[in-house]
Amino acid sequence: MSTHLHALWLRAIESAQGDNPFDHLRRASLQAAAEDFGLFDEIQEVPTVTVREPVAIQVWLSDSRARNGEVAALEAGDFLKRIQRAVARLAKARRARLADVVRLSQVDFDVARLNVASASVGSWVVDLKYPEIDENSRLPDASTLWAEIGVVELVRALPEDDTDERSIDSINAASPVIRRAVADLISDRPEMQPGLSISVRRRSGEVLKSTITPQQASSLREKLAVVREERGVVRFHGRLDGLRTRRQIFYLELEGGREIHGYVDESLMPAVKNNLDREVEVELETFVLRARSGKSSQRQYRLIRVGEEQTQLPVGIELTE
């Protein structure tokens, strides 16, 4: 391999060090190409894909009306169906790079399938369906684990605990598919009382938790009832000077010292982290929220591009300078 090609190969493999399914596939393809062309002899250090522990997910339900928090079987089953629908919706949006997903097919549920592995009083351990890989395949064992992507997106969209009001407010600027997934959990059942908690340990070792109480569910319903108006996409040049990972909020300092903040989805988190405290060009989806009462919000922002990195949850709006 020439020095130039060697440098290009290393640059390509270094740019695919993320933990989402696209990065897994890119690394596997690059390693397979190097092996096919006999290039490994000229590469001193080849990045390897580490097989990590499986994703661990646990779901808790508790009904405040019951003495010990017991949940009726019908309500427990309904909640699990809602979680599965929300996860499948978010996974499809990331897989197909869609801003919103209205309809789901059986294939969408199969790709992001959740399996109940064990259960106790008010608690379920959920396994993900890992893709079957041929023994002779060079693809990593967890190359297309879309269910993990969907679960993480859902957990990040929900409050961290029963005092987390900021996450509830951030749903205003979330992408349409994330708002629809949250609605999957809480819509159509205003009388539902059980509180919901979800914990997920990712293959990277990161642990995320979320909780939604009946009171928080009511607040979220109000947030989801608003209409978006004056929508557009704008471009700014500024310095990314902050990121709230759990609440998915970015902070951008513009020329003159003005600062704006808004929502950033999971697919752009690595790009924001890599560009913190740097001057960068970004594109933002912008809109105003109007409640049923007619009251309008301040202008909201959602990050859709950082430098050359584009969100996997796009918008269908033309750029306006």
Does one domain contain both 164 and 293? Answer: no
Does one domain contain both 19 and 156? Answer: no
Q: Mean pLDDT over residues 225-239, rounded?
A: 86
- Cβ contacts of 305 within 8 Å, gap of 6 or more: 268, 282, 283, 311
Instruction: Give SS3 for 127.
Output: strand
pLDDT digits (tens, 9 = 90+) for 284-311: 999 888 776 667 778 889 999 999 999 9
Does one domain contain both 160 and 300? Answer: no
Cβ 224 vs Cβ 216: under 8 Å: no
Cβ 198 vs Cβ 155: under 8 Å: yes
Q: Which helix (H) or strand (E) holds 182?
A: helix 176-186
Whose CA is closest to 309, among 260, 254, 250, 258?
Answer: 250
Does one domain contain both 212 and 232? Answer: no
Q: How far is Cα 56 from Cα 47, in angstroms, rounded to an integer? A: 26
Does one domain contain both 195 and 161? Answer: yes
The total of structural domains in the chain comes to: 3
pLDDT at 266 over 70: yes
User: What is the residue-wise DSSP string for 28-72?
Assistant: HHHHHHHHHTT-GGG-S-------PPPPEEEEEEE-TTSTT----
Domain with 206, as residue range(s), is 56-224
Question: Which of the 8 DSSP states describes residue 171?
Answer: G
- Cβ contacts of 273 within 8 Å, gap of 6 or more: 243
Residue 121 phi/psi, 5-degree rounding, is -65, 110
* Cα–Cα separations (whole angstroms), residue 213 to 142, 151, 161, 185: 33, 19, 9, 12
**210 within a domain of the structure (yes/no):** yes
Out of 224, 249, 280, a domain closes at: 224
Out of 189, 224, 259, a domain closes at: 224
Q: How far is Cα 215 from Cα 205, in angstroms, rounded to an integer? A: 31
**47 within a domain of the structure (yes/no):** no
What pLDDT does residue 22 have? 56
Q: Mean pLDDT over residues 252-278, rounded?
A: 91
Does one domain contain both 61 and 115? Answer: yes
Does one domain contain both 110 and 253? Answer: no
Least confident interval from 47-56, 134-143, 187-196, 225-234? 134-143
pTM of the model: 0.70
Does one domain contain both 170 and 102? Answer: yes
CB count in 10 Å sphere of residue 315? 19
In this structure, which amino acid lies at residue 270? Answer: P
Does one domain contain both 219 and 112? Answer: yes
